[in-house]
Amino acid sequence: MLSQLRPALLMLLILTVITGVIYPLAVTGIAQVVFPKQANGSLIVINGKVYGSELIGQQFSDPKYFWGRLSATGDFPYNPFNAETLTGSSGSNYGPLNPALTQAAQARIDALKAADPGNNAPIPVDLVTASGSGLDPHISVAAALYQVHRVAAARGLSEAEVQSLVQKYTRGRQFGFLGEPRVNVLELNLALDGLK
């Protein structure tokens, strides 16, 4: 029996070192050399201060900012002591028949109308629904243009100035054919604040 146990334990040790230590260190090292920005979270850093990630949406509710999609994320990372609050990164997991989905969408419609009562344009669907992950940092160009009047009025800017910023921060389709044109909400709001 010892003759069978010894090689099994040796293989366990060798594979543990290879897959648990060497491989993760190699992948991390290669990522840090080849893709350092992405490997560190695609953070937006301005003058040494981290404002967020290009890849994770943030909540904005002030009328002077563009608002992103509904999100199930909160301001604090998940931990077991605040597990019941909206924290960390997660989707809402509301199905189309769940009344909570309709209530969340209606609450967002009400908030958008209250923030810009003169805007009678149809509200783009991505402003009242969450993405599958609840983390989407982008909105459609239509969603950004819908908010131009409110943001311009709140900041005392002309609509043309704000529209030009939306155009400047509009990203085209990925690889020229995947997805739709989109606007990164955090980058646009930082540009509005004159930080980018």
Residues forming a β-bridge with 52: 44
User: Nearest to residue 67, comparing CAs of 132, 10, 167, 148?
Assistant: 148
CB 101 within 8 A of CB 94: yes
CB 190 within 8 A of CB 46: yes
pLDDT band at 182 (very low <50, low <70, confident <90, very high): very high
Average pLDDT over residues 110-131: 89
Q: What is the pTM of this model?
A: 0.75
Average pLDDT over residues 35-40: 88
Q: Is the pLDDT of residue 161 over 70?
A: yes
Domain ranges of the chain: 1-40, 42-192
CB 188 within 8 A of CB 194: no
pLDDT in tens, 17-30: 999 999 999 999 99
